[in-house]
Structure 1
Amino acid sequence: MALKNALIALMAPLPSYFFYTSFLNHYQNDQHLLSPLWNWCYRHPLILANILFFLNIDVGFWLISLLQSSNWMIDLYWTVIPVLLTHYFASYPDGQYNMWRSSAVVVLTWVWAIRLTHNYFRREKWQWGAREDWRFTDMAQQHGQNWWWVSFFGVYLIQQVFLFGVCVPLYIVHSVNKSINIWDVIALIICVCGIVYAYIADTELYTFVTKNEELKEEGKAMVPNLDKGLWYYSRHPNYFGEQLWWWGLAIFGWNLGGTWVFIGALINTLCLAYVTTLVEKRMLKQEYRAESYKMYQKTTSIWVPWFKSPQKEVLKEKDI
């Protein structure tokens, strides 16, 4: 099954790849049978990217999910699609951009994607498609027999809105040729901090979960709550790191005149805020950790880290 899922995941984006390659090879040939199509594609890079996403991801991945009764692949491709979009915009024939800024964004996007993909496989014990996101499983139970069509909108089409919203800066970076300035440096620093911060937080979480699994197998009491390292300063430092990355990327686009690019990062933040509430409700349903997590909620920031001195903790415990 793992090999089968790996082959499916590797072959899934090929239709878009072959179409785009054909476009690059023939868009200058006015005698080609499909020259009207290639000319249209040349004039509408964003629309073309959205059409390819809709047909290949929304429809294609959805059909695969119906055959497999699992929506596991969209989780993996959340880390891959930004890389594909980066190279799509960078290689577009009509692209205009500063080579240094483009190179920085391409490298940053690859580093971000490698980190997130590594975390995905580490979390899934290095298996392809072993399970789908628990949120999709819960939604499937809620919608019952209607899930087969609801999933198209609730899992795939909505991902297109979110992903293109946060990835618009990648398009702007490769459509405006402007000299490097201080805002590029600031954006780069924020993106790097976000990647590093999220990596440390996810590694601490992975270590915690692995240790608890070992304790459970040994029949010992599990540790109810992770409140060490970055998790000492906020309840979801991994989410905070991800937000730093997307807002840093948005600054790249804003610096080039895309004053509205923050909308994508804002929508993503609001969505993640909703996901955070679901995660915390799920934590509180686990009896062995409910009371400990309630205390954790009262003494620790939800996202943004802030210092907690021992004196403050003592005072808060007295108040509780």
Structure 2
Amino acid sequence: MFINFIWLNVFLMLCAWLWVSYNKRAGLVDVIWAFGIALNVILASLIFETAPLMVRVFLAVASGIWFLRLAWHLLRRYCHETEEDTRYANMRRAMGKYQHLGFLAFFLFQAGLIVLFSYPMLALLNIPMEQWGSSTIIYLVVAAIIMLVAFWGESLADEQLYRFKQNPENKAKTMDQGLWRYSRHPNYFFEWLHWFAYPIIGLAAGVYSLWIYPILMFLFLYYVTGIPFSEQQALQHRGDNYKDYQRRTSIFIPWQPKE
């Protein structure tokens, strides 16, 4: 069954790659990544009948809404951008005449990442019904609270930043209002928080391996794909303005800013 999801993700990314080969804007890969996870989880919740119904419904609704919102936000940002995202423009220049094949390999790699980050939900949906304890509903309530807080935080942070960037008067300025007053990357923080919901649900079935995912997501956001690039680009474009923001604002966990 899992192999079918792999082929589905490959198909999604191949379609995205063909479109990007035409319009030269590779940022679409982020949209398809989020949409692919949502599609994987929703389809698996409908197909797999192994886990209890309440677990299947919870994951289909909570995770489905989470990743569909993220996909919509990324699509909105992608549609309003007039130039290719700096990350992918740099990749395109680095690959030169091999960019067509280079992006093909990159998009297929992203199909693998869809599988990687869909795994917690698919694993929970594949746990036999008899393995779930009587306290499953309690763990689902705790997970729901985490998901709601994370959803509120990331949605608000994304919307605040989007509105800030839409105002021409804010060009070359740093967003330091709302949630961005307390963290330089509140969207990443709440994204990370959301990943605690799945290992907590896993506790109801005696599964502990899913705790690797909050750790994995923290490493990705803090050291690989998220914060390092964002900070580098901010310093290049906003210089001393952003350095001042760095001095007084927490990098990740929301905290009272320094005077």
Q: TM-score range by the shorter chain?
A: 0.7 to 0.9
The structural deviation recorded for 1:290 is 1.1
| Corresponding position of 2:140 | 184
Cα distance in 2 for partners of 1:173, 1:300 equals 37
The structural deviation recorded for 1:278 is 1.0
Cα distance in 2 for partners of 1:157, 1:255 equals 34
| Corresponding position of 1:26 | none
2:175 pairs, out of 212, 226, 229, with 226
TM-score normalised by length of structure 2: 0.85
- Which of 1 and 2 has greater Rg? 1
Alignment CA distance shift 1:124-1:58 (3 Å) = closer
The structural deviation recorded for 1:75 is 2.2
Aligned residue pairs, count: 252
| Corresponding position of 1:88 | 43
Out of 107-116 and 97-106, give the one that drifted further.
107-116
Contact 1:239-1:303 at 8 Å conserved across structures: yes
AA partner of residue 121 (structure 2): L
The structural deviation recorded for 1:254 is 5.0
The structural deviation recorded for 1:265 is 4.1
- How do residues 1-320 of structure 1 correspond to structure 2 at under 5 angstroms? 45-54=1-10, 56-92=11-47, 95-124=49-78, 132-154=84-106, 156-176=107-127, 177=129, 178=132, 179=134, 180-211=136-167, 213=168, 215=169, 222=171, 224-253=173-202, 255-273=204-222, 274=224, 275-286=226-237, 289-308=238-257, 312-313=258-259
- Which whole-Å deviations, capped at 9, do the CAs of 1:1-37 have from their partners, x for residues lacking one? xxxxxxxxxxxxxxxxxxxxxxxxxxxxxxxxxxxxx
AA partner of residue 281 (structure 1): Q
Contact 2:26-2:88 at 8 Å conserved across structures: yes
Contact 1:169-1:252 at 8 Å conserved across structures: no
AA partner of residue 51 (structure 1): W
Cα distance in 2 for partners of 1:144, 1:167 equals 33
Cα distance in 2 for partners of 1:150, 1:293 equals 33
Alignment CA distance shift 1:120-1:52 (3 Å) = closer
The structural deviation recorded for 1:58 is 4.0
Contact 2:199-2:208 at 8 Å conserved across structures: no
Cα distance in 1 for partners of 2:18, 2:74 equals 23
- Which whole-Å deviations, capped at 9, do the CAs of 1:99-136 have from their partners, x for residues lacking one? 122212211123213422342344345x6x96554311
Contact 1:83-1:113 at 8 Å conserved across structures: yes
The structural deviation recorded for 1:199 is 0.7
Alignment CA distance shift 1:261-1:162 (3 Å) = farther
Contact 1:254-1:261 at 8 Å conserved across structures: no
Alignment CA distance shift 1:188-1:122 (3 Å) = same
Secondary structure of the 1:224 match is coil
Contact 1:172-1:258 at 8 Å conserved across structures: no
Cα distance in 1 for partners of 2:50, 2:176 equals 47
- Which whole-Å deviations, capped at 9, do the CAs of 1:251-271 have from their partners, x for residues lacking one? 334543442223344333322
Alignment CA distance shift 1:58-1:164 (3 Å) = same
Contact 1:246-1:265 at 8 Å conserved across structures: yes
The structural deviation recorded for 1:138 is 1.5
Cα distance in 1 for partners of 2:32, 2:172 equals 32
% identical aligned pairs: 27
Contact 2:182-2:254 at 8 Å conserved across structures: yes
Which runs of no fewer than 5 residues in structure 1 stay unpaired?
Answer: 1-44, 217-221, 314-320
Which runs of no fewer than 5 residues in structure 2 stay unpaired?
Answer: none
Contact 2:27-2:84 at 8 Å conserved across structures: yes
